[in-house]
Structure 1
Amino acid sequence: MSSKSYIIQLSNDADDASVERFKKDVEAKGGKIGHTYDTLFKGFSVTLDPNTVTTLSSDPLVASIEEDKKMHTL
Structure 2
Amino acid sequence: MTKTQAKQLVVCVENDGYAVSLEKRKIYVALRDAAADKHDMLRIVDESGEDYLYPKAFFRSIALPQAVRRAVLAA
TM-score category of the 2 structures, normalised to the smaller one: 0.3 to 0.5
TM-score by length of 2: 0.34
**Structure with greater helix share of residues:** 1
TM-score by length of 1: 0.34
